[in-house]
Structure 1
């Protein structure tokens, strides 16, 4: 089984709302998730996190600590190994781009009402990382 290294970003605003994006492409087209994607050749995780957030949301982030790691089945027998990091927005303008068709900050009740990626909400709950 091919393992594919991926990263995600847990970015909160001043009201402790969580940054989410609606996926524009498969896997997960139309579902909401946190910004992230594959680690490119030659990148370390923080570099990949910052690049993915900038591409998908227009925001510049400082990447912090690893929050957690999950494995999800991917297409063609691949296994996505996803490491999610805390990140703080330090610049840029929130705008959906690249693989995202929408991007916004959401509250706990808003994320609960959205169609989200498989196990996203339960995983964030386990990590005590749901928005305030």
Structure 2
């Protein structure tokens, strides 16, 4: 008997910090996670690499240009028809001015104290903690 796997939607997320060690976050404007804070990112479009998709998504959501580094980890989140397979990468901000755009209703840098007060998407804090990627301050 063969197992039937649920359809997976490939997505990417950016784990980026400013020079003070604060984590880059966006508040989701649309489902899934509408109104909650998350890492900037989104779906990988057909023909895109993870790197290209992540640079596009971060620019659209935050106004920032990033260099994409190493894969930090992958998580699965429920989707209406399957699962979001989210590949989170370390990113370095190169340029731009932080401002919410596209799918984000707000964007900010969060230190550890601020992060603890924000309504986050499910399992974000625990996942970042497990990966050793919480804000440095």
Same fold, judged at TM 0.5 (above):
yes
In the alignment, structure 1 residue 71 sits paired with structure 2 residue 76: yes
In the alignment, structure 1 residue 12 sits paired with structure 2 residue 17: yes
Report deviation, 1:92: 1.0
In the alignment, structure 1 residue 125 sits paired with structure 2 residue 126: no
What does residue range 2-41 of structure 1 map to in structure 2 within 5 Å? 2-41=7-46
Q: What SS does the corresponding residue of 2:114 show, helix, strand or coil? A: helix
Report deviation, 1:109: 1.4
The one of 53, 59, 66 aligned to 1:61:
66
Q: What SS does the corresponding residue of 1:48 show, helix, strand or coil? A: helix
The one of 109, 112, 115 aligned to 1:108:
112
Moved over 6 A (4+): none
TM-score (norm 2): 0.94
Report deviation, 1:70: 0.5
In the alignment, structure 1 residue 98 sits paired with structure 2 residue 102: yes
Asked which structure has the greater CA Rg, the reply is 2
Once the two structures are superposed, what CA deviation does each residue of 1:100-129 show, in whole Å capped at 9, x if it has no partner?
A: 000000001111110000000000000000
Report deviation, 1:2: 1.3
TM-score (norm 1): 0.98
Q: Name the one with the larger helix percent.
A: 1
Unaligned runs of 5+ in 2: 1-5
Unaligned runs of 5+ in 1: none
The CA RMSD measured in Å over matched residues stands at 0.6
Q: 1:88: which partner in 2?
A: 92
